């Protein structure tokens, strides 16, 4: 399935998060140029995802896993899983997924929107900041190996400019 996604930093007090959220953990089993294989736990469900490509448009294949298989694969990950809370907010009829990271990526808040085509127009809520769609530092696969804690000073300087 083709995935068309845009990703933005969220920073500042303008965002009012709903109370309802899902807890996510995701870990990478394979990572190479333009490809990744991850296992994700959303609450008590596990999903295996292969992503191919880079930038706004990528191929994505997902497969639901049995709980035992998901746990086993999480244990085989290349590094510790990324932990985050995911909130959903609708703006102008479009669904935004807001990820509030924890652990080594604490302080990072990203907003993602999936689109039907790369040039689709969409609402830009006031809480959006810099677009980071093409910035590899903010890909989850990169955050697993090079978390915000490893470059906290540069990250905070970036936020201060927003």
- Exactly one of 28, 46, 87, 146 is catalytic; name it: 28
Convert the pLDDT of each residue in 6-15 to its tens digit.
999 998 777 8
Residue 87 designated active-site: no
Number of structural domains found in the chain: 1
Q: What is the CATH number of the domain that holds 119?
A: 2.40.320.10
Over residues 39-66, mean pLDDT: 94
Q: What are phi and psi of 74, to 5 degrees?
A: -60, -35
pLDDT for the residue numbered 86: 97
Distance CA 148, CA 145 (A): 10
Residue with more model confidence, 100 or 2: 100
Domain coverage including residue 58? 2-161
Q: Kindly report the pTM of this predicted structure.
A: 0.93
| Residue 5 confidence (pLDDT) | 94
pLDDT value of residue 160: 87
Condensed to tens digits (0 to 9), the pLDDT of residues 61-98 reads 999 999 999 999 999 999 999 999 999 999 999 999 99
Supply the Cα-derived Rg of the chain in whole angstroms: 16
Give the pLDDT band (50/70/90) at residue 134: confident
- Residue 3 CA to residue 10 CA, distance in Å, equals 22
Compute the mean pLDDT over every residue in the chain, rounded to the nearest whole number. 93
Q: What's the rounded mean pLDDT across residues 98-115?
A: 96
pLDDT higher than 90, residue 127: yes
Residue 1: predicted pLDDT: 83
């Amino acid at each position: 399935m083709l995935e068309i996604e845009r990703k933005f930093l969220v920073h500042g007090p303008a965002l009012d998060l709903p109370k309802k959220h899902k807890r996510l953990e995701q870990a990478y089993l394979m990572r190479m140029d333009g490809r990744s294989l991850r296992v994700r736990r959303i609450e008590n469900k596990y999903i295996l995802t292969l992503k191919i490509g880079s930038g706004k448009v990528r191929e994505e294949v997902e497969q639901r896993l049995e709980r035992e298989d998901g746990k086993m694969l999480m244990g085989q990950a290349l590094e510790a899983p990324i932990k985050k809370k995911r909130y959903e907010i609708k703006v102008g009829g479009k669904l935004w997924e807001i990820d509030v990271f924890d652990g080594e990526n604490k302080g990072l808040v990203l907003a993602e929107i999936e689109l039907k085509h790369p040039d689709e127009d969409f609402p830009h809520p006031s809480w959006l900041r810099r677009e980071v769609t093409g910035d590899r530092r903010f890909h989850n696969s990169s955050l697993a190996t090079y978390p915000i804690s490893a470059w906290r000073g540069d990250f905070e300087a970036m936020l201060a400019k927003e």
